[in-house]
Amino acid sequence: MSKRIDVRNENIYYGDFLAVRDVNVTLDPCTVTALIGPSGCGKSTFLRTLNRMHEVIPNARVEGEVIVDGVNLYAPGVDAVQVRREIGMVFQRPNPFPTMSIADNVLAGVKLNNRRISKSDADDLVEESLRGANLWDEVKDRLAKPGSSLSGGQQQRLCIARAIAVKPSVLLMDEPCSALDPISTLAIEDLITTLKEQFTIVIVTHNMQQASRVSDFTGFFNLEATGKPGQLVEFDTTDVIFSNPSEQATEDYISGRFG
Ligand SMILES: Nc1ncnc2c1ncn2[C@@H]1O[C@H](COP(=O)(O)OP(=O)(O)OP(=O)(O)O)[C@@H](O)[C@H]1O
Ligand SMILES: [Mg+2]
């Protein structure tokens, strides 16, 4: 079930370095939000705080709140492993387990979560997840082949299948198409549009056309100068960000006058 995310007064640190400053934003269920902005402004850093992946880096920490359907992920007693199950993540480079079969790759997250699952339930889940990731027809006759036998675009869809197999409520994607050809990119974009009926989706992208094609809302991150913290400068509907942004910095960035 898709969930609402409220980020309140969030500061994100690597040790003493304040990487991202004072983020306040609400992401609604069943929407796609694109995060854009120049390299180093903190998009990936921010994204990783939405499922507590940030703090796996030594000395990395978060101040403020990330409230998912009323629960602050950073409240004492919240289980970070459970959070990462609820809130799935897909990375820039497809990262299937290379020697594991296609089917086992889909089930990898489910098995990590220690869920016991019968053979027939597993088969059903593999099919459902691969269909969900729009990959089923291409791989249904070779489910026992290794994950590494797929093309890059197929591997990325396999990673999406693995992420949705655990039935998360939120899907975070960090430049999921940057290593893909245009056809595979369009396949992933179509998939995102379908998946948003079920998930709250946040996608980091450097591709402005992609942001305008797939997202309902867009957040523009920027930093004043090197070494200064990144900030969420503007957040609005994608239409407004691309046609009539409030901030000059946003206008400059999307029209290519920046960086
Ligand atoms: N593991 C880390 N340890 C220390 N500093 C880090 C770490 N990862 C990122 N940073 C710093 O945090 C800031 C934000 O980096 P981040 O990777 O979030 O930027 P980004 O917007 O995703 O950039 P890009 O578009 O290049 O992916 C940068 O100054 C970066 O050097
Ligand atoms: Mg990044």
145 alpha carbon to ligand 1 midpoint, in Å? 36
Average pLDDT, the chain: 94
Atom of ligand 1 at shortest range from CA of 15? 4
Q: What is the pLDDT of residue 45?
A: 98
CA-nearest residue for atom 6, ligand 1, is 14
Which ligand is in closest contact with the Cα of 58? 1
Q: What pLDDT digit, counting tens, does each position of 78-96 carry?
A: 999 999 988 999 998 899 9
82 alpha carbon to ligand 2 midpoint, in Å? 24
Sign of the alpha-carbon torsion through 116, 118, 122, 125: negative
Q: What is the pLDDT of residue 196?
A: 94
Mutate to test the pocket of ligand 1, among 16, 35, 43 (most ligand atoms within 8 A of CB): 43
Is the predicted pLDDT of residue 113 greater than 70, yes or no? no
Is the predicted pLDDT of residue 117 greater than 90, yes or no? no
13/31 Cα distance (integer angstroms): 28
pLDDT band at residue 109 using 50, 70 and 90 as cut-offs: confident
Tell which residue, 225, 205, 224, has the closest CA to residue 215.
205
CA-nearest residue for atom 4, ligand 1, is 14
Q: What is the pLDDT of residue 180?
A: 84
Q: What is the pLDDT of residue 77?
A: 95
And the tokens for 171? 């899907």
Which ligand is in closest contact with the Cα of 20? 1
Q: What pLDDT digit, counting tens, does each position of 125-153 carry?
A: 999 999 999 999 999 999 999 999 999 99
Mutate to test the pocket of ligand 1, among 12, 20, 44 (most ligand atoms within 8 A of CB): 44
**Mean local confidence (pLDDT), 43-65:** 97
Is the predicted pLDDT of residue 75 greater than 80, yes or no? yes
123 alpha carbon to ligand 2 midpoint, in Å? 35
Q: What pLDDT digit, counting tens, does each position of 188-233 carry?
A: 999 999 999 999 999 999 999 999 999 999 999 999 898 899 999 9
Q: What is the pLDDT of residue 1?
A: 81
Q: What is the pLDDT of residue 183?
A: 86
7-10's contacts with Cβ under 8 Å and 24+ in sequence apart are 7/50, 7/64, 7/65, 7/66, 7/67, 8/64, 8/65, 8/66, 8/67, 9/63, 9/64, 9/65, 10/46, 10/49, 10/62, 10/63, 10/64, 10/65, 10/66
CA-nearest residue for atom 26, ligand 1, is 39
Q: What is the pLDDT of residue 258?
A: 59
Atom of ligand 1 at shortest range from CA of 37? 21
pTM over 0.75? The answer is: yes
Ligand 1 residue neighbourhood (C-beta within 6 Å): 14, 19, 39-45, 57, 230
Q: What is the pLDDT of residue 27?
A: 97
pLDDT band at residue 259 using 50, 70 and 90 as cut-offs: very low
**Mean local confidence (pLDDT), 230-254:** 97
Is the predicted pLDDT of residue 115 greater than 80, yes or no? no
114 alpha carbon to ligand 2 midpoint, in Å? 31
Give the DSSP per-residue string, the chain.
----EEEEEEEEEETTEEEEEEEEEEE-TT-EEEEE-STTSSHHHHHHHTTT-GGGSTTEEEEEEEEETTEETTSTT--HHHHHHHEEEE-SS----SSSBHHHHHHHHHHHTT----HHHHHHHHHHHHHHTT-HHHHTT-TTSBGGGS-HHHHHHHHHHHHHHT--SEEEEESTTTTS-HHHHHHHHHHHHHHTTTSEEEEE-S-HHHHHHH-SEEEEEEESSTTSPEEEEEEEEHHHHHHS-SSHHHHHHHTT---
pLDDT band at residue 33 using 50, 70 and 90 as cut-offs: very high
Q: Helices 102-112 & 152-165, crossing angle to 10 degrees?
A: 30
39 alpha carbon to ligand 1 midpoint, in Å? 8
Q: What is the pLDDT of residue 85?
A: 86
